[in-house]
Amino acid sequence: MTDYPTIRLKPKAEARAIRHGFPWVFADEVVTDRRTRALTAGSFAVLEDSERRALGLVTVNPASKIIGRMMDRNVDAVIDADWISAKLRIALDHRARLYETPYYRLIHAEADGLPGVVIDRFGPAAVIQPNAAWAEAHITLIADALQAVTGVECIVKNGAGRSRVLEGLTEETEVLRGTLDGPMPVLMNGATYMADLLGGQKTGLFFDQRPNHAFAATLAKGARVLDVFSHVGGFSLAALGAGAQSALAVDSSVPALELATRGAQASDMAAQFETRQGDAFAVMEALAAENAQFDLVVCDPPAFAPNKQALDAGLRAYERVAKLAAPLVAPGGYLGLCSCSHAADLSAFRNASARGIGRAGRKAQLIHTGSAGPDHPQLPQLAESGYLKAVYFRLNS
């Protein structure tokens, strides 16, 4: 038997949710005596209920609001290279069934059994986001297992983002294995995307939007397309690959638009592709003043409501996006709106989008609702794992 320390739930804490698969233990649910507070961030402990019955093996971070993350229901489990490799092999088998080419999210944190860990694969390269203290402490072990299981030659550690700050971790990005000679080309949805694994947003590409890019592309044949908050051209390049007449990508980031342009060139679609750099709200207002019209408009803004405290302001921002975008849609055209906010559920986001369209004086039909692709599985007990929402409307008048 492995000799792990223990942490214990308070008498009024709800152990039932943990038994039924909820993976997190919050700090106010645990008896935080001096011994518990002294545990090293990223270490492991047996979680007990208030009657000292074992619930599972957790990783502990006394500095985090999420003080415990469930690692294994077996309290004697050893978190070593073999344990991590087993999780990676299960995840890899699923992705290999989904995709013919090795470009996907390989590990989606708790839903793939590696709490706080995100791994995106870009063919011979992979990016690890260690967003929990245990993953930071065991990053070498994770990288070794990743290389052994997948055979990737280059591994990047992306240690940036809000999640790491909440865990008390510093921000740092570095190449852990191999070398990287520049942005990686990714073939997806009929286009070539350029992903900056070191300096780009998140891991360099938003694999979660793949099915939403694909759906938008079904509406794009012969269309004039506007891609707002475009990043590296996610929606616009997929639309051009499906036969769009033209595409305009709008983003505040010059590097992102440069990568989008390189992607259009690599896809042999540069002649139909344009970019416009600036604040997305201001650009949409300017396009309206120019009486610009598009057959397909898609807006994929950042998370305006990353937490409950920001929910009301975030929903107002999503409503404003819809209000500004709707006048740019030609009669009979389509409007796609996306949200990656954890705090805004589908109903709230859909309602905010509909209000914005109505405030713009347009009438709409809701034709499709999308989410993240199957390489971003959801843990049913953890609503936060189903963060991405996309709603598509047809504007007939």
Residue pLDDT, tens place only, 318-369: 999 999 999 999 999 999 999 999 889 999 999 999 999 999 999 999 999 9
Which phi and psi (to 5°) does residue 135 adopt? -70, -35
Residue 20 pLDDT class (50, 70, 90 cuts): very high
Is residue 13 predicted with pLDDT exceeding 90?
no
Share of the chain above pLDDT 70, in %: 99
Alpha-carbon distance of 363 to 361, in angstroms, equals: 7
**Spatial CB neighbours of 120, under 8 Å, sequence gap ≥ 6:** 104, 105, 106, 126, 127, 203, 204, 205, 207
Q: What is the pLDDT of residue 240?
A: 98
SS3 at position 39: coil
Kindly state the average pLDDT of the residues 80-100. Answer: 97
What type of residue is 247? Answer: A
Alpha-carbon distance of 274 to 269, in angstroms, equals: 10
pTM score, whole prediction: 0.94
Alpha-carbon distance of 88 to 91, in angstroms, equals: 5
Helix axes 210-218, 234-241, angle to 10 degrees: 40
Alpha-carbon distance of 56 to 46, in angstroms, equals: 6
What letter does residue 272 receive in the DSSP assignment? G
Hey, how many other C-beta atoms are within 10 angstroms of the C-beta on 386? 18
Q: What is the pLDDT of residue 1?
A: 53
Exposed/middle/buried for 266, CB within 10 Å: 0-12, 13-18, 19+? middle
- Report residue 148 as tokens: 């052994």
Q: What is the pLDDT of residue 16?
A: 85
Positive or negative torsion for Cα 197, 201, 205, 207: positive
Alpha-carbon distance of 47 to 58, in angstroms, equals: 6
What letter does residue 9 receive in the DSSP assignment? B
174-230 pLDDT per residue, tens: 999 999 999 999 999 999 999 999 987 889 999 999 999 999 999 999 999 999 999
Kindly state the average pLDDT of the residues 103-126. Answer: 97
Residue 12 pLDDT class (50, 70, 90 cuts): confident
Which residues in 68-94 are b (16+ Cβ under 10 Å) and which e?
bbbbbeebeeebeeebbbebbeebbee
Average pLDDT, the chain: 95
Q: What is the pLDDT of residue 137?
A: 96
**Spatial CB neighbours of 22, under 8 Å, sequence gap ≥ 6:** 381, 382
- Domains within the chain, CATH numbers bracketed: 6-72 (2.30.130.10), 81-177 (3.30.750.80), 184-395 (3.40.50.150)
Give the distance, in angstroms, between the CA of residue 165 and the centroid of all CA atoms in the same chain: 17
Alpha-carbon distance of 112 to 129, in angstroms, equals: 14
Alpha-carbon distance of 378 to 354, in angstroms, equals: 26
Alpha-carbon distance of 60 to 260, in angstroms, equals: 41
Kindly state the average pLDDT of the residues 257-270. Answer: 97
- Report residue 163 as tokens: 């999640």
**Spatial CB neighbours of 161, under 8 Å, sequence gap ≥ 6:** 129, 131, 171, 202
Q: β-strand 389-395 against 364-370: which pairing, if any?
A: antiparallel
Q: β-strand 246-251 against 224-228: which pairing, if any?
A: parallel
Q: What is the CA radius of gyration of the chain?
A: 22
SS3 at position 214: helix
